[in-house]
Structure 1
């Protein structure tokens, strides 16, 4: 539902004087003595055909002076609506003062058109109408794509019972497609704020759910069955865009660096922090919130979250996380791995770690490999879609530039850049 400006009335409000009205969206109303500049009073309200019990947003702007009694009345409302002054409203100075409130259509209102009046200090300054439509029967909906929900994907559940005589506010959905019963709640700040008996939830399908059709049952406060729907679950298959997607990464950035083009030669000091980035043209539905990067160099697995900066609009979805590198590591390269698409995609990159100043290893061996070790060879790099025809694989002195056929072309020199903490 969008907000519409239904009625615009130009009103000159003069405290203690004569009110001169003119209908129109522009122009200036002249005062009785022609010497005072007046502001336009405009009534704004939402009107798409209101249902009994529905909330309606009312706003009056352009009031010249503060008033305690700005009231909207209509036979369609459950009661008169007192509008309150909006001190913090961001409006053009020419709009004057603003008042707003939520009105409620009476549950007893019948289908039809009702008059609406707005008064300031007992004087009617605007008139309009409110359209009331018939109440639809209660409905339970389960959102689903045409081809079915993916394991792990979110599914929208909603129950709308804004209907005369309906009561209760505790509703639950049961299905073997979900890990546990799902309670439905009303979100007064959500997209259906104006329907006070709209109850919703957004649960995820079990990641291990098998392909098939599942019952989705809605129950009331007393446990009685109210409605039942069906949910189709189907995992991605070869040929689907989200079967393997188009994964790229993992790539590495400094703790305070912007996510953009990956540094050509990146290294981090043991005990420092860094960012891990992952991109995918078609992330597996539901797995976006479960992506992690693991490495023997990290203190713990790193959860990768969606990067929603407007600076990357139009790019493939980006995910990133902040990693803390273990202290006391020897210099060397360590694998960083991300597994996605329910295990169908696994990609690794090698992270160069430099020992902290003053650190001397007493161990004969360690988790990482010195740059140039056999594990830095291109054959160790994980392969997946999105590898360009020519890429730099590895890091440090062992980095190789290889062509599409895998033939080494040139050996990159070890970077002499500062550590990233």
Structure 2
């Protein structure tokens, strides 16, 4: 078997066998196949596509390229969730303890943020002492004893994906839906959860800009799950405007805590309720979505969701007093309001531009490993469809200094579009993709 034959076969639009895909992934991972051949193959995949079966073979080959977790000897069933990234998306911090409070174990590995899309670990690390670098044994022990984990990826999971991801980033092949799907699903399968809920974002602040693209990606990932023996469902959710109000690490951590107290923004709570409910159904703790919603709402109202967040923070070394008193979380020294320049209806609160403004403040990274400022960020005070008057607050900027404040303010001035004509509010969700 030769790499060039596999490249030519895919170039000509011919379906690859499992053996050919495994050979190529193994060869590239161990260095036998060079970058230039892997780049040619990735471009062929981008141009010619892959069948669901091919993409499943690719996913499993990448998942099998490193360590894999087996959670079955720790819990009867564990559920995981994955968001394709967004602005103001602090959902995991709410749904993990909420779902656990409903009796369903959750083993989740998250990441740090890069670019305008924030990372769950950065938000959690705004609590002093919170450990995100759990070992494999610590991960499994905590899942077995507490029934939930929210940690970074300290294991060597799917190393083939890491190599292909870096290659795609510099060869113009990032947009390939089979390569995106296999990248996401290889890590999720290697992490061991039997059920996975995917939150596929659509819009300005998402990787998938159109609903058709998002639905295609979601359907492919659900198919991969089905073919690889996992229960997978994908929620299509809006990311044209930020989720909730808070954008920035400590700000989002505070908003997540307030949401578990029943005091969070309505759109963010509705989003968390939907994701939690899908997890409970997929994890076989509720027979219907209606029963799952009732369970999640009860866990919120009784305070059990908040109590499990306290336990999570405590067992991972964090200072629980920050959950009890979120006003202790890091706060930026400068606050400045941006107001509406005219009367009218909000037609746009561009999530990407808001996220990029947060990066200018120091809340996000422009390159991997860069230090970030946990205190800075933006409070988004309006939603698409709102009527605003001159001088009404649109954004509250939390800045470290005047220089970054001015940069962010200039960016935010372009993020909101106000017009005379009424505008309907944006939907939170566009549908569900499942194997049923």
Normalising TM by the smaller chain, what interval? under 0.3
If each structure's helix is expressed as a fraction of its own residues, which one has the higher value?
Answer: 2
Larger Rg: 1
Structure that is richer in strand per residue: 1
| TM-score normalised by the chain length of structure 1 | 0.26
Q: TM-score, normalised by structure 2?
A: 0.26
